[in-house]
Structure 1
Amino acid sequence: MEVIFVFFVIIFGSILQGVSGFGLGLFTMGLLPIMFSLKDSTLLVMFLTFMASLSILLKIFKYIEVKGLLIIISAAFTGRVIAFFLLNRFGEIDSFKKVLGIFLIGMVIYLLINKQESSPPILMEPIFPILFGFLGGIIGGVFAVGGPFFVFYFLMIYKEKHRYNANLQVTFVLTSLFSLLMHGVHNDFNTLFYMYFLIGGISVIFGANVGLIWFEKLPRERIKKLALCIVLLAAFNLILFT
């Protein structure tokens, strides 16, 4: 039963990732910590994000713009190093799940009320990719839901959806791989992980590719709102029942 639950959570989350460019972490981290510790959930979602983003990136890699990635990825790596120590110290504390629930509610509210199609020119200054990258790195490294910070930045500088998506996926691939390597060196993975890695890897590649087909055809806003409603319910569940 547990494996089936994880399978369907990952499938739906990876479809969201394919459709909108993000959402796997936001969705799955609202549900997986119900069954696993925060640390185990985060490590599993990092791996899934890496697999989903790599799968998407292989189909749209020609839209990558390296110049626009250097500052934000460097800042994100710094945030991930700090997150590594935070997760190893606090990742087994169940009460930290309530913090995650509160954070998820905040992210949902932000994503629902943010309707801007463009941002003020001042946000193009170097301080902002540094800030968004650093915060996304920390939140992504501890909670595996740092995506909204990167989404905001790439939506701000890329109006063409394929460029936005390709550069967003590069960021997810590199930051997830960076964190996984640090935790691997630290021996943070147990044998149970490898079973979920296998199940999750197959599920996430399938879901991400299905979502990528929808990315080309369906309006993202409708699917995103549905997902955010589910995340909101999961966040309240984390706060009230864990």
Structure 2
Amino acid sequence: MWEQIVILFIIFLGSFIQGSSGFGFGLVCMGVISIFLSVEESMLIVLALTAFLSSGILLKYRRYIIWKDIVPITISASIGRALAFVFVIYFGETEFIKIILALVLISMVVYLYKNRQLSETSNTSNNYIISLCVGCIGGFIGGAFAIGGPLFVIYFLMRYEDKRSYTANLQLTFILLNLFTIVAHWINGDLTDSFYHYFILGTVIVLIGVTLGLKIFDLLSTKIIQNIAFTIITLAAINLIVMSLL
């Protein structure tokens, strides 16, 4: 009973954070849920609920989707997710990769703090090669560890000055990639009774959490949202390093 209460509470907290900042559900939930369930079960529950709550956010900001930016990053990210699907089945988790990911995330945050070039005319963010690389790497990490969100967050923060464009395109990316992974695991027969149990219960919880979070999002400036996102990413990176070394 207490196990279920803890899992549902962390799902609520994660959905509130994602509603208010645009991301963070997987980062908040994976560490706790994986204590009670297997890593694969936890990952699939988090990915499915992320797709569900992202749909709620996207419904509000759907007018700000920019399709020409979505296509290249989601195509390359789908390739990354396909590679991650094979990786999860045959190799499981690799702690060394988590440490590398954490160091990369911290480096990106430091760079962005020092260089606030977050406009649509940024040469870096408009570079299709960078879009393809971010998509492939973020897709792989998200499919293997359910924590690929920060790379996409950093990309879209660099790409858009308008917080509504940032969150709309970010949520659509989450939805497309997570559905891709869930369907692949469903075909492979990986969806357990625990997955369906917590997904059904979780949908109600995330609706409440994301609704409250969106009210906060509307009140925050783009710069504050950027700072919140950078802080969450930094804490998640530090947590990855600590957990990998324990």
What is the TM-score with the length of structure 1 in the denominator?
A: 0.86
Asked whether the 8 Å contact 1:20–1:215 carries over to 2, the reply is: yes
- Tell me which residue corresponds to 2:66: 65
Moved more, 121-130 or 49-58: 121-130
Pairing of 1:46-57 with structure 2 (within 5 A): 46-57=47-58
Structure 2 Cα separation of the partners of residues 184 and 103 of structure 1: 30
Q: Does 1:74 align with 2:79?
A: no
Return the offset for 1:37. 2.2
Q: Does 1:220 align with 2:225?
A: yes
Structure 2 Cα separation of the partners of residues 212 and 222 of structure 1: 17
Return the offset for 1:62. 0.9
- Tell me which residue corresponds to 1:109: 106
Cα distance change on mapping 1:123 and 1:226 into 2, 3 Å:
closer
- Tell me which residue corresponds to 1:171: 173
Cα distance change on mapping 1:101 and 1:2 into 2, 3 Å:
farther
Asked whether the 8 Å contact 1:97–1:239 carries over to 2, the reply is: no
**Aligned mate of 2:211, from 197, 209, 213:** 209
Whichever residue aligns with residue 46 of structure 1, its letter is L
Whichever residue aligns with residue 41 of structure 1, its letter is S
Cα distance change on mapping 1:75 and 1:222 into 2, 3 Å:
closer
- Tell me which residue corresponds to 1:84: 85
Q: Secondary structure at the match of 2:142?
A: helix
- Tell me which residue corresponds to 2:146: 144
- Tell me which residue corresponds to 2:32: 31
Cα distance change on mapping 1:101 and 1:36 into 2, 3 Å:
farther
- Tell me which residue corresponds to 2:123: 121
* C-alpha RMSD of matched pairs (Å): 2.5
Asked whether the 8 Å contact 2:125–2:159 carries over to 1, the reply is: no
**Aligned mate of 2:132, from 124, 130, 133:** 130
- Tell me which residue corresponds to 2:9: 8
**Aligned mate of 2:162, from 132, 137, 160:** 160
Q: Secondary structure at the match of 1:129?
A: helix
Return the offset for 1:221. 5.7
Percent same amino acid at aligned positions? Answer: 37
Moved more, 192-201 or 220-229: 220-229
Whichever residue aligns with residue 192 of structure 1, its letter is S
Return the offset for 1:122. 4.1
Return the offset for 1:193. 1.3
Structure 2 Cα separation of the partners of residues 128 and 232 of structure 1: 22
Whichever residue aligns with residue 69 of structure 2, its letter is G
Q: Say how many residue pairs are matched.
A: 237
Moved more, 230-239 or 136-145: 230-239
Query: Residue deviations 1:193-214, cap 9 Å, x none?
Result: 1111112221122211211110
Asked whether the 8 Å contact 1:53–1:172 carries over to 2, the reply is: yes
List alignment gaps of at least 5 residues for structure 1.
none
- Tell me which residue corresponds to 2:193: 191
Cα distance change on mapping 1:156 and 1:239 into 2, 3 Å:
closer
Structure 1 Cα separation of the partners of residues 186 and 95 of structure 2: 27
Structure 1 Cα separation of the partners of residues 32 and 117 of structure 2: 32
Asked whether the 8 Å contact 1:38–1:97 carries over to 2, the reply is: no
Cα distance change on mapping 1:240 and 1:129 into 2, 3 Å:
closer
Asked whether the 8 Å contact 2:15–2:209 carries over to 1, the reply is: yes
Structure 2 Cα separation of the partners of residues 192 and 16 of structure 1: 24
Cα distance change on mapping 1:226 and 1:121 into 2, 3 Å:
closer
Structure 2 Cα separation of the partners of residues 186 and 132 of structure 1: 27
Structure 1 Cα separation of the partners of residues 134 and 101 of structure 2: 17
Q: Secondary structure at the match of 1:31?
A: helix
